[in-house]
Amino acid sequence: MIGFYISRVFMFIGLVVFQVLVFNNLDFNFYVNPYIYPLFILLLPFNTPQWLLLILAFALGITVDLFSSTPGFHAAALVFMAYCQPLLVRLLTPKTTLETETLPNIRTIGFAWFITYAGILLLLHHIVYFLIEIFSLQNLLLTMAKVLISGLVSMVLIILLAYLFSPEKKRT
Amino acid sequence: MRNLFQFFVRYSSLFIFIMLEGVSLTLAIRYHSYHRTSFVNAANHFAGNVFNSYHNFTEYLSLKTVNDSLVRENALLKARQLSSFRDECVSIDSVKNEDLTQIYAYIGAKVINKTTDKANNYILLNRGSRHGIKRDMGVIAAQGVVGVVIDASDHFSVVMPVLHKDSKTSVKIGQSAYTGSLQWQGPSPYYADVLNVPNHVKVKTGDTVYTSGYSSIYPEDIMVGVIKKHRIPSGSNFHEITVKLSTNFEALPYVYVVNYLLKQEQQALEDSTKL
């Protein structure tokens, strides 16, 4: 169990480093700003208490903010996403599955389920983030284009990383 | 009382959510509403050092381009040296070198972090107030204007580049005396708009745009870019001009911070006449 916590601490740091030093520096295009750090929240066990979920989301968001010179943008988006996560899980899963699966492991829980789960939450995160970043309702079309294009790129990256972070183990 | 307690326990996550969201949104809205605020003060030392060491690590990757640009700039400076000029003046009361006063000094700085693909971009430099950098100093690069310093800590400073929605630069078209205001609405980091140029001014595609030197931020005649296209919207008194920026913000290893040595004197005079 201690090993699990330590691995999550490393995952937290790893995702921040990856996000801040690699993805923030890619400068592809105005429309392509992928954000991969929400993966940390997506992969937390389903039985994490909600208060802990929210505090972890705030901590992760504000850390990314510190390195991106964006006060509170990432924190606001990630806290919102973390608040929606348990609601969505309850909506998507029948009760019996939830009792047997506590970790959102992409290999065991199913690709289709994970895509729906991650896709909806990422979309919410990106909508909140880009609305705050652009901070104007005038160019809503531009904002939505940015949300969709960046969201799609983030989604692909997050699925690849989810495979990386999900240990391949046979369930008994 | 017990009911109240239960109520709080039951909705505790909702309260935590509202509290955390409130804190982050307050930060975000404050950033957007106060002109030229930056987040760097709370975070600068730690974040600045991380970016600095990361930059030291990756710096050698761009050495070739940096060398090329330095060589080009050296050639330009050599051409401007006094020894490259011959005194053609034959009259006795000519301007002597002793009459020249230095009014601009430059502080070289390295870009250690930057964004170019956001709605509001920023640049982080590895020099700060300890090296003489202050708020509202202009920043230029070898190719043209870059932006304005909005915040400086001991060792680092933050620049609001032209690629920011609050950035306004006073520019002039070619060598004419007509000035306009350079602004950027995105999304491309290569183009910006010049506003407030009256429609009777003759504007051609390919004209060069320079800084006007009115704002005491940039020296006069620093290159801004070249006019890409222009039109006069029907019924408007002003041109709509798109400029291809001469500074390539995506590859910007070194910049110079402009220290206008007469700034205090100029400002003191301006303030005293405003009474």
- The single-letter DSSP state of residue B95 is P
| Selected residues 102-141 of chain A with any CB under 8 Å from a CB in chain B | 132-135
A134/B119 touch (CB, cutoff 8 Å), yes or no: yes
More confident residue, A120 or B185: A120
Two structure tokens written together for B110: 């390295």
Residue A106 has pLDDT above 60, yes or no: yes
Separation CA B89–CA B76 (nearest Å): 24
User: Which tokens belong to B135?
Assistant: 């708020």
Q: Which of B11, B13, B23, B24 to mutate to test the interface with A (most CBs of A within 10 A)?
A: B24
Residues from chain A contacting residue B39 (CB–CB below 8 Å)? 65-66, 69-71
Residue type for B173, please? Answer: I
Please give the Cα distance from B88 to B111 (Å, whole number). Answer: 42
- Residue range B23-59, pLDDT digits in tens: 999 888 887 776 555 555 545 667 777 787 887 777 7
Q: Which chain A residues are closer than 8 Å to B118 by Cβ?
A: 33, 133
Torsion from C-alpha of B167, A33, A131, A62, nearest 10 degrees? -90
Question: For the segment B97-128, what is each residue's pLDDT rounded down to a tens digit?
Answer: 556 677 888 888 889 888 888 888 889 998 88
- Chain B contact present for A54, CB below 8 A: yes
Q: Which residues contact A88 (CB under 8 A, 6 or more apart)?
A: A117, A120, A121
Q: Flag whether residue A51 sits within 8 Å of chain B, measured between CB atoms.
A: yes
pLDDT at A172 (0 to 100): 45
Say whether pLDDT at A170 is over 90: no
CA B94 to each of CA B81, B82, B90: distance values in angstroms, whole numbers, following the listed order: 19, 15, 8
Q: What's the pLDDT tens digit per position in A24-70?
A: 877 677 788 899 999 999 999 888 889 999 999 999 999 998 888 78
**pLDDT exceeds 90 at position A99:** no
Q: Dig out the tokens for B131 from the structure.
A: 């090296």
- Residue B188's Cβ-count burial label (10 Å; 0-12, 13-18, 19+) is middle
Interface with B, mutate which of A17, A18, A19, A69 (most B CBs under 10 A):
A69
Among residues A94, A115, A120, the alpha carbon closest in space to that of A104 is found at A115
Of B16, B24, B38, the CB nearest to A75: B24
| B208 vs A2, higher pLDDT | B208
Per-residue pLDDT at B93: 54
CA distance to partner chain A, nearest, from residue B90 (Å):
56
Q: How far away is chain B from the Cα of A15, in angstroms, using its nearest Cα?
A: 15
Measure the CA–CA gap between B248 and B190, rounded to whole angstroms: 7
Residues of A in contact with B248 (CB under 8 A): none
Rg (CA), chain B: 24
CB-CB under 8 Å, A30 with B28: no
Check CB contact under 8 Å for A71 and B50. Answer: no
Site of tokens 């996560």 = A85
Tokens of A7: 């691995």
Question: Which chain B residues are closer than 8 Å to A141 by Cβ?
Answer: none
CA B161 distance to own-chain centroid: 4
Please enumerate in sequence order all residues whose Cβ is within 8 A of that of A122, keeping only pairs 6 or more positions apart, or say none. Answer: A38, A81, A151, A154, A155, A158
| pLDDT less than 50: residues of chain B | 42
Q: Which residue has the higher pLDDT, B102 or A146?
A: A146
Cα–Cα distance for residue pair A126/A144, rounded to 1 Å: 9
First to last CA, chain A: 19
Check CB contact under 8 Å for B28 and A76.
yes
Residue A54, min C-alpha distance to chain B (Å)? 7
Q: Which of residues 1-20 of B touch A (CB under 8 A)?
A: 12-13, 16-17, 20
Q: Rounded distance, CA A8 to CA A16, Å?
A: 12
Rounded Cα distance, A55 and B133, in Å: 38
